[in-house]
A = this chain, B = another copy of it.
């Protein structure tokens, strides 16, 4: 795992060059275009330029594990690329068509979509001409327990009628968003993990209302995290993915790779924050010496290096296990990185903020925004506590295989 395959190394080198030549220089342009637009959901031209440049270099759909749709990299091969993209998290993932939740949606459509769905939605998503959202979480119930989901999908002839409310539907306010994958309940009387289904729903279907965007801390994100109301939304029964009752299964299947992507991007963010911390500590002087000469700041730098490296290795191990023995055997690791990577990244960014003083909490540096968005990772896909619970159950059964199954 410490050595990349040749082709992964080539992608990494190309991506690093692309970051240096295109992405980092575009960051300032991006912020200027967004500020000038005065609309947080504006789609800035620089992004399309980046997409064109990435595609030209073959840095496109790198995430896609299926050779017919992308380079077919393994999780272990793609992971280091995701880290690099994380260093400029607002631009690089979308520039390379590797941004969530489109990646997860594309995987789901690849695996479970009908030919028609693939033609209508997967194709333009892979082209990057449209965007998609994933409507899972609901405001009324704790999302850490997926069986809580309440949005109703009732069969009415050859249609489903959807009624309910979702939130944190990320990407729904992206200027190019055209389609939602919606998780809901088709059969409340089925066994608990067979009650849910996923439907592919065009954004312009009557009855769908984006009520508002949810800010993250104070940030209005470009792609948006929408609260969406479904009122008698009618879709043909062909909209169902992989058959009625498959919702829970599909949800599970998309989790693994998404975790790797999120965690590696978080590590990339942490590396960028560490660089900013070091640079600032070298540049600022108080009481006659640069901050970088102070032993407490040096401790922060060293602890950041240690923690980042450990979190990266754990994530790479999870990726390796997924590639070799599968998601089920890697359950502990997939849960563990979800806890570890965001926490490490938050610690590093917080130290970097402290070294930056007032600048650190403003928008002169990306640190406050990094912190806010990393903080959501401790909640998205279930809070830390749910993942620790999973790990603990596995450990308890490691020592006593009958644990939790008695009586």
Contacts and interface: CB of A to CB of B under 8 A. Distances in A.
Contact of A279 (B314, B360, B379, B399): B399
Interface in A257-282: 274-275, 278-279, 281-282
A309 B336 contact: yes
Q: How many copies of this chain sit in the oligomeric assembly?
A: 4
A354 B379 contact: yes
Contacts of A360: 379
B376 A361 contact: yes
A285 B390 CA distance: 17
A295 interface: yes
B218 A369 contact: yes
Contacts of A88: none
Interface in A305-351: 305-306, 309-311, 313-314, 317, 320-321, 332-333, 335-336, 339-340
Interface string A388-407: 11111101101110010000
Interface stretch (A16-24, A142-150, A182-190, A236-244): A142-150
Contact of A313 (B145, B216, B313, B376): B313
Interface stretch (A44-52, A197-205, A296-304): A296-304
A257 to B, nearest CB: 18
The winner among A275, A285, A305, A364 for most chain B CB atoms within 10 A is A305
Interface string A78-117: 0000000000000000000000000000000000000000
A67 interface: no
A143 B282 contact: no
A140 B282 CA distance: 14
A296 B396 CA distance: 14
A274 B281 CA distance: 30
Given A298-B389, A311-B310, A320 B2 contact: yes
B302 A395 contact: yes
Given A214-B364, A296-B299, 13 more contacts: A142-B284, A144-B357, A214-B363, A292-B403, A295-B296, A299-B392, A302-B335, A303-B388, A305-B336, A305-B391, A306-B336, A354-B383, A357-B383
Interface of A: 1-2, 137, 139, 142-145, 148, 167-168, 214-220, 225, 274-275, 278-279, 281-282, 284-287, 291-292, 294-299, 301-303, 305-306, 309-311, 313-314, 317, 320-321, 332-333, 335-336, 339-340, 353-354, 357-364, 368-369, 371-372, 375-376, 378-380, 383-393, 395-396, 398-400, 403
